[in-house]
């Protein structure tokens, strides 16, 4: 074991005071189990009562060459005794399992932060793979951080030696040794992790015991060895929270539960048709384990089959749901037009990722807004909702189901890679507080009173057509993608029929604004010098940046949009109450264009397309520049 301690000056100490929150990043090769380590550390953090937010960062390659920078996998967690809304700007602690992990992540670490490194992996071969000309543990290039390095690999081998594992299998326990050290550093209990290991390796108890031994060895190492640097026990008090039942959820879990809750509130069985694609696949995985709630899950042969099967389920009287990411949403485009033409309820989840094409399959982005609002042939308006956090995805899913079934329309629900994979505490809601919206299927109401003619496109006050189950005696009817005659639904592609049906479909979607809440201001005044307008997963960094700016006396407000199409009915008046508007987005300015188009406001973009979320400091700087 060796350490190198950087002497912190008084100025640096004042610049980085003791915090009531910590940001820790685990990084290693994609085979080192960093996501599992981070997930279990998250579990222990939640049980300790801290508020938290996580950011799993996966490599794009399925299995990049071991030890290369392309294969680095990282997991960042921000936890504390106060409200946590982002995964943190800069890590306070970086635990790097090899040279590549160090090289990819070290520049994100705050100055004076702590680096813990497995020196056993810093061989000449691994250094060369990572692109190092010299060993950074020895050449002074890490002087502005606190550096601690010891041979985690050898310490793990020593800990699991009694269990007779081969060298390769033994080294797979290295992540548990590291987790044990982290649990000691932050005063966490090992019991829940030990129980989890026994359950995970119930059929291979020797592997469970080996991993438990590695976990205990890492914890004991921190407890008994004077490591040096800043490696010491750091206790963070529990965050204040309302009484209730809490659990951690990822966005994919929360959204899956919300879809089920929405189906229950509508009184419908649910059919989910999906096709595997990162990062949307997790929704299919979660729903497939919840069939006791009347859920049918179907993994189709392709994206087109998945959405068409869901449309068929909606036609048959179930809640049809499908899910994908940008490339798959593009493939589903024609079938979305079919759902719009036939006016059937359908929920389409788009877990956005960087594009175009395969793009950045494991990185986050918000670049599908144009696709969601405009991306179909013909005039094909569709409601669009955007979740702002993993927990918020639950309520957004219920809202998507409500709109789809009330207005007989497909609805697109936008999340992104950050929301889908990130985790946060969630207070499990009392479903008694949600108002049911049971579906009524048409029977005699679909008939023309005078001549018993079926009227599948007769509209109610919401301009929604009746939902007629196939096989209902009397109102048998044809349905398809060719233009309809108003009212009867007969094939009619005359100019008059097309113009009227185009107008009605648009008016129906526009009318949804009457049943959604007016836009609120998340923090700040309802008018003033500057509004920061966001949507989706930018909520956390915008909210924190605006909060900090207001504490410095700046006149700035935060507006965050859930209903993107149609917009809330008070949006025009609200936006025109501000002298300046900036719109932070993880794209090249798509919401900015929508706001300019609809409300004729001079919204200015703040764009980021790096595949990573905004940092609070980036938005703070933009606020200061806008008000300079």
**For 113-136, what is the mean pLDDT?**
96
Question: Model confidence over 12-36: pLDDT tens digits?
Answer: 434 444 458 999 999 999 889 999 9
Band of pLDDT at residue 108, cut at 50, 70 and 90:
very high
- What distance, in Å, lies between the first and last C-alpha atoms of the chain? 50
pLDDT computed for residue 1 by the predictor? 41
397/383 Cα distance (integer angstroms): 13
Distance between CA atoms of 183 and 234, rounded to whole angstroms?
Answer: 10
CATH architecture of 521-626: 3-Layer(aba) Sandwich (3.40)
Average pLDDT over residues 216-231: 84
> Would you place residue 449 in the very low, low, confident or very high pLDDT band (cuts 50, 70, 90)?
confident
- What share of the chain has pLDDT > 70, as a percent? 96
Residue 451's pLDDT is what? 73
Q: Is residue 7 over pLDDT 80?
A: no
Across residues 442-449, what is the average pLDDT?
Answer: 78
- Name the average pLDDT for the chain: 93
Calpha distance 396→562 (Å, rounded): 8
- Give the integer Cα–Cα distance in Å for 350 and 329: 7
Quote the CA–CA distance of 499 and 521 in Å, as a whole number.
Answer: 38
Domain span(s) for CATH 3.40.920.10 in the chain: 19-228
Q: Is the four-CA dihedral 566, 571, 573, 575 of positive or negative sign?
A: negative
Give the pLDDT confidence of 315-343 residue by residue, as tens digits.
Answer: 999 999 999 999 999 999 999 999 999 99
CA dihedral (341, 347, 353, 357) in degrees, to 10, reads -30
What pLDDT does residue 17 have?
A: 41
Mean pLDDT of 238-260: 95
Give the right CATH number for 19-228 from 3.40.920.10, 1.20.58.340, 3.40.50.2300, 3.40.640.10: 3.40.920.10
How does pLDDT run across 196-218, given as a tens digit for each residue?
999 999 999 999 999 999 999 99
Question: In the chain, which segments carry CATH 3.40.50.920?
Answer: 521-626
CATH 3.40.50.970 residue spans of the chain: 247-433
The mean per-residue pLDDT over the stretch 531-539 comes to 98
pLDDT of 193 higher than 50: yes
Instruction: Convert the pLDDT of each residue in 603-621 to its tens digit.
Output: 999 999 999 999 999 999 9
User: What is the per-residue pLDDT for 478?
Assistant: 86
The predicted structure's pLDDT at residue 10: 39
Q: Whole-model pTM above 0.75?
A: yes
Give the chain's count of helices (H) and strands (E).
Answer: 22, 20
Range 247-433 has CATH code 3.90.1150.10? no
Query: In this predicted structure, what is the pLDDT of residue 228?
Result: 65
Confidence of residue 226 (pLDDT cuts 50, 70, 90): confident
């Amino acid at each position: 074991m060796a350490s190198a301690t950087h002497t912190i000056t008084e100025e640096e100490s004042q610049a980085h005071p003791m915090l009531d929150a910590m940001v820790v990043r685990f990084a290693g090769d994609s085979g080192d189990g960093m996501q599992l380590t981070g997930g279990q550390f998250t579990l222990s953090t939640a049980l300790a009562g801290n508020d938290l937010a996580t950011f799993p960062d996966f490599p794009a390659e399925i299995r990049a060459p071991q030890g290369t920078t392309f294969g680095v996998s990282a997991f960042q967690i921000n936890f504390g005794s106060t409200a946590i809304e982002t995964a943190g700007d800069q890590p306070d602690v970086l635990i790097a399992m090899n040279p590549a992990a160090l090289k990819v992540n070290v520049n994100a670490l705050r100055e004076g932060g702590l680096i813990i490194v497995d020196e056993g992996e810093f061989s000449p071969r691994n250094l060369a793979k990572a692109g190092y000309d010299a060993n950074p543990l020895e050449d002074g290039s890490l002087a502005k951080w606190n550096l601690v390095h010891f041979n985690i690999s050898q310490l793990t081998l020593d800990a699991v030696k009694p269990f007779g594992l081969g060298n390769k299998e033994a080294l797979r326990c290295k992540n548990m040794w590291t987790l044990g050290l982290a649990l000691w550093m932050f005063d966490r209990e090992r019991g829940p992790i030990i129980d989890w290991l026994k359950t995970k390796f119930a059929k291979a108890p020797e592997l469970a015991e080996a991993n438990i031994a590695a976990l205990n060895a890492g914890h004991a190492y921190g407890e008994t060895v004077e490591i040096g640097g800043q490696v010491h026990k750091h206790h963070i008090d529990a965050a204040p929270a309302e009484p209730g039942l809490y659990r951690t959820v990822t966005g994919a879990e929360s959204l899956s539960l919300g879809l089920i809750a929405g189906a229950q509130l509508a009184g419908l069985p649910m059919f989910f048709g999906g096709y595997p694609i990162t990062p949307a696949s997790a929704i299919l995985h979660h729903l497939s384990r919840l069939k006791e709630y009347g859920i049918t899950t179907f993994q189709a042969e392709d994206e087109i089959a998945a959405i068409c099967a869901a449309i068929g389920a909606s036609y048959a009287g179930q809640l049809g749901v499908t899910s994908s990411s940008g490339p798959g949403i593009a493939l589903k485009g024609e079938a979305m037009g079919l759902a719009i033409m036939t006016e059937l309820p359908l929920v389409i989840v788009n877990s956005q990722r960087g594009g175009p094409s395969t793009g950045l399959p494991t990185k986050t982005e918000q670049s599908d807004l144009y696709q969601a609002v405009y991306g179909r042939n013909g005039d094909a308006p569709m409601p669009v909702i955007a979740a702002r956090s993993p927990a918020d995805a639950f309520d957004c899913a219920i809202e998507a189901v409500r709109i789809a079934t009330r207005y007989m329309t497909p609805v697109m629900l936008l999340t992104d890679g950050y929301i889908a994979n990130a985790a946060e505490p969630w207070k499990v809601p009392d479903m008694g507080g949600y108002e049911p919206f049971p579906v009524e299927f048409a029977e005699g109401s679909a008939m023309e009173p005078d001549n018993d003619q079926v009227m599948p496109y007769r509209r109610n006050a919401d301009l929604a057509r009746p939902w007629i189950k196939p096989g209902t005696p009397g109102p048998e009817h044809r349905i398809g993608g060719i233009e309809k005659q108003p009212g009867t639904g007969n094939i009619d592609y005359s100019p008059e029929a097309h113009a009227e049906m185009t107008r009605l479909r648009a008016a129906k979607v526009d009318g949804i604004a009457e049943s959604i809440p007016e836009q609120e201001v998340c923090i700040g005044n309802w008018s003033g010098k500057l509004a920061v307008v966001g949507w989706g997963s930018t909520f956390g960094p915008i909210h924190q940046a605006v909060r900090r700016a207001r504490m410095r006396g700046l006149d700035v407000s935060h507006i965050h949009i859930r209903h993107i199409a149609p917009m809330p009915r008070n949006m025009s008046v609200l936006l025109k109450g501000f002298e300046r508007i900036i719109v932070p987005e993880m794209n090249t300015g798509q919401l900015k264009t929508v706001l300019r188009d609809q409300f004729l406001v001079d919204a200015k973009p703040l764009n980021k397309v790096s595949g990573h979320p905004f940092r609070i400091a980036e938005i703070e700087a933009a606020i200061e520049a806008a008000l300079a």
